[in-house]
Structure 1
């Protein structure tokens, strides 16, 4: 299944929403949109594409109604999700965790184009396996630019088959949180200031 979501936030107006496939978007507050599963997704073979545009002077918070559960499909175990973010206003993107269940392989990518006068917080939380499971795999990449200039290139792998995998002590959960332009944030993990402004906080462990 292919799912497509478009959210456009404009100053002084309600967010514009377009949805197709297994993901629906609902405005829950004047500047807040929740994503809701309208069908079981992502399963192996599914592709989810989410595009978010925040125009100058607009504010938007994006949330999810529940955790995302990646499950294997009948023909393949791999699913994909991509975020395409264009931000000239204020964006706070903080979905519930992604759980990679059983032998699933889930790949996410985020591309962020932010204007110098904008503000962004992006948080991604991932857990490999439900209780007693350790054999899922996840890969996540973040490509962020400010006014066309590179801000961050970041990629993490977790789980079975990842570069750092081992049977004894390899992490099975992670949190990545990007802030721009804020550099002093109170959050879990290690915070690294970025040369172009903003900061990236990262945490890894066994369970969220």
Structure 2
């Protein structure tokens, strides 16, 4: 199934929301939108595209109502989530964790474009497996630009077949958090200042 969500925030008005497929969005406060599942998703074969637009002078918080549980499909184990973030105002994106269950293989890609006066916090939390599960795989990439110039190119893998896959100590959970333009922030990992402004922290461990 293909699911599409658009959330567009403008100054001095409520965000515009458009949704199709198994993923929906609900306005829960004047500047806060929660993502909710209208049906079980993502399953193997599903494709989710979430586009967030924050215009100059606008503030938007994006959350999710519950954790995202990724499950295998009948035909394929792979599913995809694409985030397109276009920010000239201020965006705080912090959904609940993604749980990659059973032998699912889930790929997340985030493309972030920032205006020079924009502000952003983007946090992603991922856990491989429910209780006693170790078969899943997740990959996540973050591509961020400011005023057309590169800010960050970042990629993480977890689980079976990941670059850090090792029977003795494979990381099964990760938290990545990007702040801009702040060069310091309180995060789960150690924030590293970026050359073009902002900071990134990445934490990995056994469980969230």
Calculate the TM-score normalised by the size of structure 1.
0.99
For 2:149 and 2:142, the matched residues in 1 are separated by 14
Query: Is it true that 1:37 corresponds to 2:65 in the alignment?
Result: no
1:176 paired with 2:176, answer yes
Q: How many residues in Structure 1 have an aligned counterpart in Structure 2?
A: 208
1:190 and 1:102 map into 2 onto residues whose CA distance is 31
Structure 1's consecutive aligned runs of 4 or more residues displaced over 4 angstroms after TM superposition are: none
Partner of 1:26: 26
Q: Distance in 1 between matches of 2:146 and 2:69?
A: 32
> Hey, what's the Cα distance between the residues in 2 that align with 1:164 and 1:36?
32
Q: 1:128 aligns to what?
A: 128
Distance in 2 separating the partners of 1:139 and 1:184? 26
Deviation at 1:183, TM superposition (A): 1.0
Superposition deviation, residue 36 in structure 1 = 0.3
Q: Distance in 1 between matches of 2:60 and 2:113?
A: 15
How far does residue 126 in structure 1 lie from its aligned partner after superposition? 0.2
Q: Equivalent residue of 1:190, what SS?
A: coil
1:195 corresponds to? 195
What RMSD in Å do the two structures reach over aligned CA positions?
0.4
Corresponding residue number in structure 1 for 2:107: 107
Deviation at 1:170, TM superposition (A): 1.1
- Structure 1, residues 136-162: CA drift from partner, whole Å, max 9, x if none? 000000000000000000000000011
Aligned to 2:63: 63
So what's the TM-score if we normalise by structure 2? 0.99
Find the aligned partners of 1:126 and 1:28 in 2 and give their Cα distance. Answer: 24
